[in-house]
Amino acid sequence: MTDAEHFVLPNEQPVVELDCTTAFKCLTPREKLYAHYLSRASWNGSLIILVQTSPEAPLVFVLLHKLFSLQPLSELKKAALGDQGVTPDEFQALLVYTSGIFTNAGNYKGFGDSKFVPNLPAAKFEVVIKCSEAYHREPKVMQSLWDRCKDAIYLLKEGVKCLGFHDKGTTTYFSSNCTLEDANLVTQFLKHQSMEAYNSRVFKTVEDGVPTYEIRLASVETGSDPDVTQKDVDCMSCRFRITRGDCSRLLALVVQDLAKAKDHAMNDLERKMLEHYIQSFTRGTLSDHKDGSRFWIKNKGPVVETYIGFIETYRDPAGMRGEFEGFVAVVNKEMSAKFAKLVDQAEALLPELPWPRGFEIDKFLLPDFTSLDVLTYAGSDIPAGINIPNCESAET
């Protein structure tokens, strides 16, 4: 097996459709609208993950989305397999690669963080593009997209095979000139500021010989705000500044959808939760997201369950910055009742677990243990279960 074969998705890779028809039909018209706009917010927000994954991921997504959006798949396949020299296996390989891009929200695996590349030659990939309706309608756009990302799509040199700091991997949470040492300096500064990094990325420059780190917060608003941003702060022989406006246009779409979802919320807790999420994404304030999460915790037993924001930190090589995700689900009442019984017995069961009492928190907080039928899960991976919120201060 060649090295490249370790980085392709096999043609036999299964593709499973998420069937949420039954769960969605059980909702009232108001609940359906609430779930719909929350789903739109999640999917629009998931485009941020492309920006968070690799420099080429947004271009690859746009290229493939255009390629498959403007004609039936059967027509594209017929055109590619006609006189163009593309084999059925090569076309299937492109479909599998595209499914991988859409599932993982980029060209690195959500589980494992390794890069994957198309299992067909670049020349055949280009043939499919050029015989498509998308290329017929927008030849300059499609050619430009392909030219800008084709080399990066297939590149498998050391330093791009997996996610990580730039001496060993790829990341967009830090600019390409940042190392582990730079990340440690930023971490020390953030601790000094009592600031968390969930919704930020870091960009390093050198100004007048001084290493300068811009900590850029994700927000719709781009201007300065004395409660959010900071001008130059000299610390540890470096300069730090906190700005905002990262992913501004994408978050604007998220905010629009959340505002519409708020109009169809079931109760005041859901409305207040969404108000704080909107404020957080608009201004770049983590405190507002925590406040929204507190209302989310108080909203016991909702019919439509949801969570959205910069949540899991696994793919930041420094382990501090959250990847965007959003999910919408309908509660499975029968299974949730069984879980509720388990929670009721938790304090009796905890002492039986195989670790000392010191590993438990001082006061056990009864969780809302819920079984969900998923309508939408927009992220780089789909876990079997999740424990949220991640911020301890939002759990109290």
What's the CA gap between 3 and 146, in Å, rounded? 24
Count CA atoms within 13 Å of residue 131 on its CB side: 21
Q: Report yes or no: 215 and 190 within 8 Å, Cβ to Cβ.
A: yes
Amino acid found at 169:
G
Helix locations, the chain, DSSP H: 21-25, 29-53, 57-69, 73-81, 88-104, 122-130, 133-137, 139-154, 180-192, 248-262, 268-283, 286-298, 333-344, 346-349
In a domain, 225, yes or no: no
Structural domain including 88 reads 55-154
Check residues 363 and 111 and name the one with the higher pLDDT: 111
For the entire predicted model, the pTM comes to: 0.89
Residue finishing a domain among 109, 130, 154: 154
The pLDDT tens digits for 264-309 are 999 999 999 999 999 999 999 999 999 999 999 999 889 999 999 9
In a domain, 251, yes or no: no
Check residues 352 and 117 and name the one with the higher pLDDT: 117
Question: 């991988």: which residue's tokens?
Answer: 100
The pLDDT tens digits for 337-368 are 888 888 888 888 888 889 888 887 777 777 77
Checking if the pLDDT of 222 tops 90, the result is: yes
* Token output for 30: 């108001």
Which CATH number is 379's domain given? 3.30.540.30
Question: 């990066």: which residue's tokens?
Answer: 152
In a domain, 203, yes or no: no
Residue finishing a domain among 127, 154, 181: 154
What's the CA gap between 217 and 135, in Å, rounded? 36
Strand-pair category, 323-331 with 304-312: antiparallel
The pLDDT tens digits for 142-165 are 999 999 999 999 999 999 999 999
In a domain, 224, yes or no: no
Checking if the pLDDT of 396 tops 60, the result is: no
pLDDT of residue 308: 98
Q: What is the average pLDDT across 7-35?
A: 91
pLDDT of residue 1: 46
In a domain, 232, yes or no: no
* Token output for 121: 């030659």
Residue finishing a domain among 154, 188, 210: 154
